[in-house]
Structure 1
């Protein structure tokens, strides 16, 4: 069975916050402290362990540790010439983790980068070239799908989508392309676009799914999911944080228990036809295990899209 044939897909949980809880040493960082992507090469055991923890919890899809593995972001650590190596290693680590596990898949993660074109941080052509370079490396390494995620700028999103489609066409590869935008608590993306603008902009493209991740917990995504359920004809993904982040004694923490998180996610599936779920910041293997258990035997509600 291919990834696209599953009526309900359960993605893994948080990579970044999970790595923060691991015993990553100074030597592991190889002089690039804070660059999670270098760990693919310098300390792959941590990445494989993370993937395995999510798979053991029941996740069907693991995202590669390549969120910031574009030339633009890697240049901040002097790693801009190692794009192919790092993305290849990210996929290899995920493949090692899923070995021997049937019907488990690898999603190539493509983050927004650190420079947004709408804010004039970067020219569209430079962003497109960097995105295409990373996506080509992920395709060559053999991912099962691409997820363009945590999109904060609609121009950045559209640039990444076009780059992905053109790169897949040049490579002669047909795989699902997912887009996941970040809607802040005030109800828009960072640069001001709401979910209606997102749908209108991306509707012409042959995307496998459209959804949301990061920024908030499930509760603050409800109205946006309702809109997608009525207005987006493709599949919908919801990959929220473990609730709204809070600062307690100087440390960032997330409030939702595994049971509460799973119950709220269950509502998206049975009430709004969401068919791709998973966890972003804060979500642990316990959250994914609770999600898997809550959704056992559940199918997404049939949707009727308003034309």
Structure 2
């Protein structure tokens, strides 16, 4: 997610970009193989910083960045997820860089913590629909936003007519400190009320809306996913 040249450059290790991409991919493949089944998704994360689409380069420049990442990941992954995309232009850049490589591309968008009808850029989520019609990813999702706002967001992206879904986070909120340059997750606080049982109730609601892809993002752990899987298997 964060193995991007601009982020590594800030830490003085951009020269390790290709090495770290390959290492991440090999670890993911090894984990999948040890489990015995599943698909490996290559992450195309936001350039600049998470939740800061104002720091992202224009779509045509971003497409070149994502094309390089996709090329390096291609021997290892089964699909790509362009995730935590917070503006229409940011999403366009990621899709342009990843599409057309013979593997599925999922687009995942992040919406406002308090308003699931708006991207974190402030743009209406509905403004994404023309882009989805134009470039047609294989699925569209909402991620790294509170579970409480997902239902409103899913109602909108369902209009695209694509497979859709959600994987929410478990943060109390996105803090001001996290929006500063080069933040770490220490600037964020985890919720204590989002138990596996509570998260599963949210996810089952998304499925009732027609979602076919559900999971968890930051602070949603294996115990949440295990409980959700049990609920789905018992349904």
TM-score range, shorter chain: 0.7 to 0.9
- 2:83 corresponds to 1:149: yes
- 2:67 corresponds to 1:132: yes
SS in 2 for 1:253: coil
- Does the C-alpha gap of structure 1 residues 222 and 69 become closer, same or farther in structure 2, counting only changes over 3 Å? same
Count residues in correspondence.
220
CA contact (8 A) 1:183 1:194 kept: no
- Does the C-alpha gap of structure 1 residues 261 and 163 become closer, same or farther in structure 2, counting only changes over 3 Å? same
- Does the C-alpha gap of structure 1 residues 206 and 228 become closer, same or farther in structure 2, counting only changes over 3 Å? closer
- 2:148 corresponds to 1:219: yes
Aligned to 1:239: 167
The two structures, once aligned, show a CA RMSD in angstroms of 2.4
Query: Where does the alignment leave 5 or more consecutive residues of structure 1 unmatched?
Result: 1-66, 169-173, 299-307
CA contact (8 A) 1:240 1:279 kept: yes
CA contact (8 A) 2:59 2:92 kept: no
CA–CA distance in structure 2, aligned partners of residues 118 and 244 of structure 1: 21
Q: TM-score, normalised by structure 1?
A: 0.66
CA contact (8 A) 2:107 2:137 kept: yes
**Looking at both structures, which has the greater relative contact order when contacts are Cα pairs under 8 Å and sequence separation is at least 6?**
1
Deviations 1:254-283 (A, max 9, x none): 1311001011101111x2110111111211
Give the superposition deviation at 1:238.
0.3
Give the superposition deviation at 1:72.
1.9
Give the superposition deviation at 1:244.
4.0
Q: TM-score, normalised by structure 2?
A: 0.85
- 2:181 corresponds to 1:252: no
Given the alignment, which residue of 217, 230, 235 partners 1:293? 230
CA–CA distance in structure 1, aligned partners of residues 41 and 154 of structure 2: 22
CA contact (8 A) 1:151 1:182 kept: yes
- 2:125 corresponds to 1:195: yes
Given the alignment, which residue of 99, 103, 108 partners 1:180? 108
Query: Where does the alignment leave 5 or more consecutive residues of structure 2 unmatched?
Result: 176-186
Deviations 1:34-73 (A, max 9, x none): xxxxxxxxxxxxxxxxxxxxxxxxxxxxxxxxx0112122
CA contact (8 A) 2:46 2:56 kept: no
User: Looking at CA atoms only, which structure, 1 or 2, has the larger radius of gyration?
Assistant: 1
CA–CA distance in structure 1, aligned partners of residues 57 and 226 of structure 2: 40
